[in-house]
Amino acid sequence: MDTNGSSESPAELERAMKGRLTKKGTSKTPAKPKESLLKQKSPAEFFAENKNIAGFDNPGKSLYTTVRELVENSLDSAEAISELPSVEVVIEEISRNKFNTMIGLIDRERVDEALYDDFESSKNREKRLLKEARLQEIQTKNAALGKKVKEVSSLKGLKGRGEASFYRVTCKDNGRGMPHDDIPNMFGRVLSGTKYGLKQTRGKFGLGAKMALIWSKMSTGLPIEISSSMRSQNYISFCRLDIDIHRNIPHIHLHEKRDNKEKWHGAEIQVIIEGNWTTYRSKILHYMRQMAVITPYAQFLFKFVSEAADKNVTIRFSRRTDVLPPVPLETKHHPSAVDLLLIKRLIAETSKQNLLQFLQHEFVNISKSYAERLIGEMGPDFSPKMFLKSLTSQQLVRIHQLFRQAKFDDPSGDCLSPAGEYNLRLGIIKELHPDLVATYAGSAQVFEGHPFIVEAGISLGGKDVKHGLNIFRFANRIPLLFEQGADVVTRTALKRINWNSYKINQTQDKIGVFVSIVSTKIPFKGTGKEYIGDDISEISSAVKSALKQCCCQLKSKIMKKLQARERQERKRNLTKYIPDASRAIYEVLKEMASGRQTKRQRCEGEEDDILHKVAVEEITEATFREKLAQHVEQVDREMALEYATQSGVSEEPREALYIQALEDAKNFIDFHGPVCVFRLST
């Protein structure tokens, strides 16, 4: 008998237990472990899904960003070998029919018209025609009343989303070129490149043409074509490839060596993408123009080729100097700018064995004696000969905390490569042709352990310049065209400069404001990295100071111009009163001469001689008019000469003269000044 008082047998109890387990959903076989929900994405896949981060928000901006990335790569490539850049950009429009032929797709006629987005029903067509007729009637009435009549454009239906525009973008340069074996990875593997390291670079993400290839893969599915040759190579590397986005590896279609009969060096990149030239035409042309301003030592040829000949565009931006900025140098990290993760990475990569050598050789502005002082301050657990690999996590945190609290000398700006005041001034004059221009280059300053240099220029007048403030922003010598309102340059120019105090009318004058900032780390804001924030006081004050220096230069020139204008006005007034003054003087002297004869008044010396000449009409009114005019001219010349001597300029019409260097003058010394470079051949 069971102790619990149950009358069920053991077999019945076992069957009942199994039944209860089955009701609860427990299977007879052992449960399989659940698959992990974690998934991974390759870098290429991440940027493909978040293409707006890299500036590929829509087809129009994607076309603009593709051109920008290719041009900046070409400039970097040429400057790396101290070659004067020569860049050719061609955008060729490809119709949908031509694109379909390229990919082997046969066009089909529409069967169900109502299926398409641009379908217009008979009712909608009737409404559109009625609206057009109404507008035409209004225009006819306005014309009868003599009012200005605008041409009525026919109202079109919605454009279909499938009617994409395709463009072949080609960029050719005379730069360094690329090693044959490295080309696939340089274009087909995201986050791999030659620009990584602590130095001033034009790139924002390190993507370059890789993102253009990803966009091409997404929009057209066509590969990119690269031709490249390095100096002294007798072959041209040709590669046709696309990218495996999920694996982040290149997919090579063709990779071969071809004859280089012309001894050309550089790179030519060709990619076919979806784009929109109509909406981003002005942005692309503004970008090319601003790039010509900041790089007057480069030559650009831009072409847009369309099936409609009247839409073709060809613009050449000529080279106006052969003075290249210095090549940016890679530098070491400043102790105040490193974080804990970076310290660990530097320890893993360094070839130094002990702590003293590590501090002395892996950071800037830490001498041997200062490194010893830092180690002594870290505590008794640290010693100069301490083995780096033996440092614990707590000791690394102590090093990081001391770096944040200790005092270090600021890094120098020797590693930076600004455009130069001479190049900036020449670029402004070359592209805008202003009436007045002033430039200023500041000294190197520091924010968060990173050096930066601000260069500024302000122009007045010029061609294709609107009234008011026209702001041109550059970061590491590349133009910034988007999100201008939040930028530190825009806010400083609008809110922190009192233009009236410098004799400049902010709304009426044509003012060009140019600010270029170079640094090992540009503090961009936003995901697109299109503007520099206004929250860094060091950069904000440096921009304000540079603009004020330019304003002071312009004020001096404007004051001298105003004085010259006043002198001209005074001369004009004097000339206007010469006839009346001559007549009055002559009549007085004539009366005196007649009185002397009747009353026999005697005048001695020169006065008597003048009265006698008046009496015999040897001196007439015309004589006084001539003498007064000569005196006004003489005074004006003397004052103009004094003005020209003080200002150092001539008021005569001037024409810019650019002298090219002699080909056989190989050895020379450059003497740089703020407005010119004097080259002495040896």
SS3 9: coil
CB 504 within 8 A of CB 558: yes
Tell me if 492 sits within 8 A of 543, measured CB to CB.
Answer: yes
Phi–psi pair at 381, nearest 5 degrees: -80, -5
For 592-651, give the secondary structure using H, E and C: HHHHHHHHCCCCCHHHHHHHHHHHCCCCCHHHHHHHHHHHHHHHHHHHHHHHHHHHCCCC
List of residues 6+ apart from 86 with CB closer than 8 A: 78, 173, 174, 298, 299, 319
209 is in an annotated binding site: yes
The pairing of beta strand 249-259 with beta strand 235-244: antiparallel
Query: Any known ligand binding at 204?
Result: yes
Q: Of 510, 512, 511, 524, give the one whose Cα is nearest residue 480.
A: 524
| Residue 274, token pair as written in the block | 């979806």
Q: Which of 550, 499, 560 is nearest to 674 (CA)?
A: 550
Predicted pLDDT at 6: 44
Would you state the pLDDT for residue 302? 96
**What is the SS3 assignment for 471?**
strand
Give the single-character DSSP code of 317.
E
127 labelled ligand-binding:
no
Question: Over the stretch 147-167, which tens digit does the pLDDT of each residue have?
Answer: 765 655 554 444 444 456 899
Distance, in Å, from the CA atom of 245 to the CA atom of 242, rounded to the nearest integer, reads 9
Confidence (pLDDT) at 255: 94
Q: Does residue 207 have a known ligand-binding role?
A: yes
How far apart are the C-alpha atoms of 629 and 679, rounded to whole Å? 47
Is 206 among the annotated ligand-binding positions? yes
**What pLDDT was estimated at residue 24?**
46
- For tokens 């052969």, the residue is 322
pLDDT confidence of residue 35: 64
Q: Is 234 annotated as a binding residue?
A: no
- Inter-CA distances, 476 with 393, 437, 579, Å: 37, 22, 64
Q: How many whole angstroms separate alpha carbon 541 and alpha carbon 505? A: 23
> Closest Cα to residue 558, out of 512, 511, 507, 503?
503
Please check if 173 is assigned to a binding site: yes
Instruction: Please indicate if the annotation marks 195 as binding a ligand.
Output: yes
Structure tokens at 4: 């619990």
Annotated binding-site residue? 424: no
pLDDT at position 304, please? 95
Q: Is 140 exposed, middle or buried (0-12, 13-18, 19+ CB in 10 A)?
A: exposed
In one-letter notation, the amino acid at residue 540 is S
Which residues of the chain fall below pLDDT 70? 1-36, 148-164, 192-197, 203-206, 596-605, 639-682
Whether 183 contacts 225, CB under 8 Å: no
Q: What whole-number distance in Å separates Cα of residue 239 and Cα of residue 231?
A: 18
Residue 620 marked in a binding site: no
385 assigned binding-site residue: no
Task: Specify the pLDDT at position 498.
Answer: 93
